[in-house]
C-alpha cells in the first residue's frame, strides 16, 4: 500500500480559521481560564478576585486581579523592590519571604480601597 500525498486546495486555506494569538503562542489555555474566572450564577454583579504571583529574574510581583469583559483589571499590586524601603537589600526573589510581605501589602491596599468605597457610598446617600 503506497502513501498518497494529501493536497490541500485553495478552498481549504480560504476557510481555515486561525486560533487566538495567545493560544498560538502557547501562553493562554482559554478553557482553563474560563473555569478559573467564571463566577457562580447566583452571585450577581460580584467580582471574582484572584491572587497572581509573577516571578522574574530580579523581582516578584503580586497582584489582585478580577476579570471584566473588556479585560482583566488589577485592583492592587506590590513589587518586591518596595521591600528595599524596609531595609531588605538581598533576597528580593526569595519566594517565601517576599511573597509574604507583598501579600500583606496588597491586602492593606484592598482594605484601604474598601474603606474609600464605603465612604463614597455614604456620601452619595446624603
Local confidence pLDDT in tens for the 126 residues of the chain: 678 888 888 998 899 999 999 999 999 898 998 888 888 888 887 888 888 888 888 888 888 888 888 988 888 888 877 777 767 777 777 767 666 777 777 778 777 777 666 666 666 666
- At 121 the pLDDT is 65
For the full predicted model, state whether its pTM sits above 0.75.
no
Of all residues in the chain, what percent are helix, strand and coil, respectively (each to 5)? 45, 20, 35
Domain ranges in the chain are 48-126
Using CB atoms within 10 Å of the CB of residue 88, give its burial: 0 to 12 exposed, 13 to 18 middle, 19+ buried.
Answer: middle
Task: Write down the pLDDT at residue 78.
Answer: 81
Q: What is the pLDDT of residue 24?
A: 93
| Closest by Cα among 115, 22, 34, 121 to 69 | 34
State the pLDDT at residue 89: 72
So what's the pLDDT on residue 6? Answer: 85
* Torsion region of 86: left, alpha or beta (phi above 0 gives left; psi -120 to 50 gives alpha): alpha
- C-alpha grid cell, residue 78: 506590590
User: Cell 501589602 belongs to which residue?
Assistant: 105
Quick one: CA dihedral 99, 64, 40, 28, positive or negative?
Answer: negative
Amino acid at each position: 500500500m503506497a502513501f498518497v500525498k494529501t493536497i490541500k486546495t485553495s478552498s481549504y486555506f480560504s476557510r481555515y480559521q486561525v486560533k487566538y494569538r495567545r493560544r498560538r503562542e502557547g501562553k493562554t489555555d482559554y478553557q482553563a481560564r474560563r473555569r478559573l474566572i467564571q463566577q457562580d450564577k447566583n452571585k450577581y454583579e460580584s467580582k471574582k478576585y484572584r491572587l497572581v504571583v509573577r516571578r522574574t529574574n530580579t523581582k516578584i510581583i503580586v497582584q489582585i486581579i478580577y476579570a471584566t469583559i473588556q479585560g482583566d483589571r488589577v485592583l492592587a499590586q506590590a513589587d518586591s523592590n518596595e521591600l528595599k524601603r524596609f531595609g531588605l537589600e538581598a533576597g528580593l526573589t526569595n519566594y517565601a519571604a517576599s511573597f509574604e510581605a507583598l501579600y500583606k501589602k496588597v491586602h492593606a491596599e484592598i482594605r484601604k480601597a474598601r474603606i474609600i468605597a464605603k465612604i463614597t457610598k455614604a456620601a452619595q446617600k446624603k
